[in-house]
Amino acid sequence: MNERGDTVIAFGPVGLAGWALLVLGVLTGRRLVAMVGLTAVVADVTVAELGGFKAKNEGRSDSVS
Protein backbone atom coordinates (compact mmCIF):
# COMPACT_ATOMS: atom_id res chain seq x y z
CA MET A 1 0.00 0.00 0.00
CA ASN A 2 1.20 3.49 -0.62
CA GLU A 3 1.02 6.42 1.80
CA ARG A 4 -2.73 6.94 1.35
CA GLY A 5 -3.60 3.27 1.67
CA ASP A 6 -4.47 2.82 -2.01
CA THR A 7 -3.89 -0.44 -3.81
CA VAL A 8 -1.00 -0.33 -6.26
CA ILE A 9 -1.11 -2.41 -9.44
CA ALA A 10 2.33 -3.94 -9.95
CA PHE A 11 3.55 -7.08 -11.63
CA GLY A 12 6.94 -8.66 -11.13
CA PRO A 13 8.91 -10.54 -13.75
CA VAL A 14 6.81 -13.67 -13.29
CA GLY A 15 3.58 -11.72 -13.75
CA LEU A 16 4.81 -9.91 -16.85
CA ALA A 17 5.99 -13.15 -18.43
CA GLY A 18 2.66 -14.71 -17.47
CA TRP A 19 0.72 -11.92 -19.18
CA ALA A 20 2.82 -12.37 -22.31
CA LEU A 21 2.21 -16.13 -22.35
CA LEU A 22 -1.49 -15.64 -21.64
CA VAL A 23 -1.94 -13.22 -24.53
CA LEU A 24 0.21 -15.37 -26.83
CA GLY A 25 -1.79 -18.47 -25.94
CA VAL A 26 -5.12 -16.74 -26.53
CA LEU A 27 -4.06 -15.21 -29.85
CA THR A 28 -2.59 -18.44 -31.21
CA GLY A 29 -5.34 -20.63 -29.80
CA ARG A 30 -3.03 -22.75 -27.64
CA ARG A 31 -4.79 -23.54 -24.40
CA LEU A 32 -1.74 -25.00 -22.66
CA VAL A 33 0.32 -21.85 -23.22
CA ALA A 34 -2.57 -19.70 -22.02
CA MET A 35 -2.99 -21.83 -18.88
CA VAL A 36 0.73 -21.59 -18.06
CA GLY A 37 0.50 -17.82 -18.44
CA LEU A 38 -2.60 -17.62 -16.27
CA THR A 39 -0.91 -19.74 -13.61
CA ALA A 40 2.08 -17.38 -13.59
CA VAL A 41 -0.16 -14.32 -13.24
CA VAL A 42 -2.11 -15.91 -10.36
CA ALA A 43 1.15 -16.88 -8.64
CA ASP A 44 2.47 -13.33 -9.01
CA VAL A 45 -0.69 -11.90 -7.48
CA THR A 46 -0.83 -14.33 -4.54
CA VAL A 47 2.82 -15.02 -3.60
CA ALA A 48 4.68 -12.04 -2.14
CA GLU A 49 8.11 -13.63 -2.62
CA LEU A 50 7.83 -13.22 -6.39
CA GLY A 51 8.00 -9.45 -5.99
CA GLY A 52 4.80 -8.58 -7.77
CA PHE A 53 1.33 -7.39 -6.83
CA LYS A 54 1.13 -8.89 -3.34
CA ALA A 55 4.63 -7.70 -2.38
CA LYS A 56 3.78 -4.12 -3.34
CA ASN A 57 0.47 -4.10 -1.47
CA GLU A 58 1.27 -5.82 1.81
CA GLY A 59 2.70 -3.89 4.73
CA ARG A 60 6.42 -4.08 5.26
CA SER A 61 7.71 -5.52 8.48
CA ASP A 62 11.04 -4.27 9.75
CA SER A 63 11.61 -7.28 12.00
CA VAL A 64 13.84 -10.06 10.71
CA SER A 65 13.26 -13.60 11.95
Query: Along the 65 residues of the chain, how does pLDDT read in single tens digits?
Result: 445 566 656 677 888 899 999 999 999 999 999 999 999 888 887 876 766 666 666 655 444 44
The model's pTM: 0.66
State which amino acid sits at residue 5.
G
Cβ contacts of 54-61, under 8 Å, gap ≥ 24: 55/10, 55/12, 56/8, 56/10, 57/1, 57/7, 57/8, 57/10, 58/1, 59/1
Domains in the chain: boundaries: 13-57
pLDDT, position 64: 47
Which string of b and e fits 42-65 if b means at least 16 CB within 10 Å? ebbbeeeebbbbbebbeeeeeeee
